[in-house]
Amino acid sequence: MAALALLLCSAAGAYAFTGPAPVALRHGRAGALSQRLSMAATIPKVPFSGVSPTGPSGPTLPAPGEDLEFLEAKPYWDQSGVQVNIAKQKNPLIGKIISVQRIVGPNSPGETCNIIIDHQGQALRTLVCGADSIYRQAPLLGGPVLRCRPPGIDPKKNKPYGVRLYSIASTRYGDDKTGKTTTLCVRRATYWCPELKAEDPAKKGVCSNYLCDSKPGDEISLTGPSGKVMLMPEDDPNMTYIMVATGTGIAPFRSFLRRLFGEGNPAGKNFKGLAWLFLGVANKDSLLYDEEFQVYLRQNPDKMRLDYALSREGPLNKKGGKMYIQDKVEEYADEVFDALDKGAHIYFCGLKGMMPGIQDMLRGVCESKGLNFEEYLEGLKKKGQWHVEVY
């Protein structure tokens, strides 16, 4: 069946970090797991306001005997039928807000919300080339981008507001596993006026604030999905996925990890490789979906690694400065390069400001290994191992 991809990383209301420092938390395939988990226990869990879409103590995992295959291609890893731009601006899908929940702590510099939208599959229908040859809803795959248009008229242009792009943070099944919802991770965009010494409401992000302020039942115009950059090559169950994110750039990787470890779908059941996530944020209160990731880690210690970089909460990098995402990746440069040499795929999502630091770090490592960085990078791109979605 056609698997519909939506490559999306929040462009409006994106999390403004160019890098972060590591919390004392690194999870490997084996070894001192109990020590890592004890360190993770020092990170305060941030309760959702209202009913958590992932359950009171982590993700809603499949019940015994429950199979999630009704939105899978045949075979499940086939992406030849992936469709994009099904809902267009002239005929958008009108989604309805199901829930809006703050997912950061009180000391986070900014507010980030987990927003679940009911899309019902309306106007997103596609022919399933399966044995039954019937029409079914095309799934919204995690990884791509969804376009949202806030209601109202842009006073500067005297016409409807333009669309904003947001990464999909759920899998094709949605957090409720019905295939009729999608989840966005949105940071409220605000502007601090140094003269007023207060936030200037006239300069706030229109769409991000609309979404973060919305209530169940509110409607939002959706178009897309767009992009196929952030898709996993699921035909190889032994693949290593290296994911590097800052802030709300975590969205597609939350969908990756949920598909691999949180649903019991065919891709997850067959996965024998490694999912390695690097996440950079400001402090512990800014960690996104950590409670969910800890569940996956406890259940899959040999298939998952997790490294956090917290820029405002030490420890320092090897040069004595703040620990940003590129510094954290550099700590494991040899392992990362070895994995890439063996065919691993590396993904980057977040603010584009993180990429110069990442590339400078990789350039330095290449030089230490006697490699030409430009040639090395071009080789990864040609082999389809290098995936970037920044804003």
Q: How many CB atoms lie within 10 A of CB 8?
A: 34
In the set 10, 52, 99, 167, the catalytic residue is 167
C-alpha distances out from residue 371 to 41, 291, 361, 362, 379, Å: 41, 39, 13, 10, 12
Residue 276 CA to residue 298 CA, distance in Å, equals: 14
Name the residue with tokens 């769409």. 207
CATH of the domain spanning 232-390 = 3.40.50.80
Helix (H) and strand (E) counts for the chain? 9, 20
- Answer yes or no: 166 catalytic: yes
| Of 147 and 351, the one with more pLDDT | 351
Q: Is 49 annotated as a binding residue?
A: no
Q: Which residues contact 208 (CB under 8 A, 6 or more apart)?
A: 10, 12, 13, 164, 186, 187, 188, 189
Q: Which residues contact 317 (CB under 8 A, 6 or more apart)?
A: 21, 323, 324, 327, 330
Adjacent-strand bridge partners of 378: none
234 known ligand binder: no
Which of 72, 99, 148, 166 is catalytic? The answer is 166
Q: How confident is the model at residue 145 (pLDDT cuts 50, 70, 90)?
A: low
CB atoms within 10 A of CB 137: 21
Instruction: Assess whether pLDDT exceeds 50 at residue 56.
Output: no
Tokens found for residue 293 = 């990731």
How far is it, in rounded angstroms, from Cα 167 to Cα 142? 8
Least confident of 72-81, 82-91, 233-242, 324-333: 82-91
pLDDT computed for residue 88 by the predictor:
79
> Per residue in 218-275, pLDDT tens?
998 888 777 778 889 999 999 999 999 999 999 999 999 999 999 989 999 999 999 9
Give percent of the chain above pLDDT 90: 48
Name the catalytic one among 9, 148, 349, 366: 349
Summarize the confidence of residues 344-373 as an average pLDDT.
92
Higher pLDDT, 104 or 38: 104
Whether the per-residue pLDDT at 164 is higher than 90: the answer is no
Whether 145 and 167 have beta carbons less than 8 Å apart is answered as yes
CB 104 within 8 A of CB 46: yes
pLDDT score of 172: 87
Mean pLDDT of 304-318: 92
Spot the catalytic one: 72, 291, 330, 389: 389
167 annotated to a ligand binding site: yes
Determine which of 18-27, 189-198, 293-302 has the lowest per-residue pLDDT on average: 18-27
* Domain boundaries, given as residue ranges, for the chain: 71-129+137-227, 232-390
Q: What is the mean pLDDT of the chain?
A: 78
| 135-137 and 125-127 beta bridge pairing | antiparallel
312 assigned ligand-binding residue:
yes
**pLDDT for res 142:** 55
Residue 208 CA from chain centroid, whole number: 17
Q: What are phi and psi of 310, to 5 degrees?
A: -110, 105
Q: How confident is the model at residue 385 (pLDDT cuts 50, 70, 90)?
A: very high
Q: Is 72 a catalytic residue?
A: no
120 burial level (CB within 10 Å; 0-12, 13-18, 19+): middle
pLDDT at 26: 45
- pTM of this structure: 0.79
Domain at 71-129+137-227: CATH code: 2.40.30.10
* Residue 99 annotated as catalytic: no
Cβ neighbors of 180 (< 8 A, separation 6 or more) are: 118, 119, 120, 121, 137, 174
Between residues 27 and 301, the one the model is more confident about: 301
Catalytic: 148? Answer: no
User: d(Cα 184, Cα 170) in Å, to the nearest integer?
Assistant: 8
Residues 268-299: b if buried by 16+ CB within 10 A, e if exposed? beebebbbbbbbbbbbbbbbbbbbbbbbbbee
**Is 298 annotated as ligand-binding?**
no
The pLDDT value recorded for residue 232 is 94
Q: Say if residue 83 is exposed, middle or buried (CB neighbours under 10 Å; 0-12, 13-18, 19+).
A: middle
Q: Which residue has the higher pLDDT, 256 or 89?
A: 256
The annotation status of 164 as a binding-site residue, yes or no, is no
Longest dimension (CA), the chain: 66
- Say if residue 350 carries a ligand binding annotation: yes
What's the whole-number mean pLDDT along residues 166-191? 88
Question: Is position 347 annotated as part of the catalytic site?
Answer: no
Task: Indicate whether 62 pLDDT > 70.
Answer: no
- pLDDT single digits (tens) 313-323: 978 998 899 99
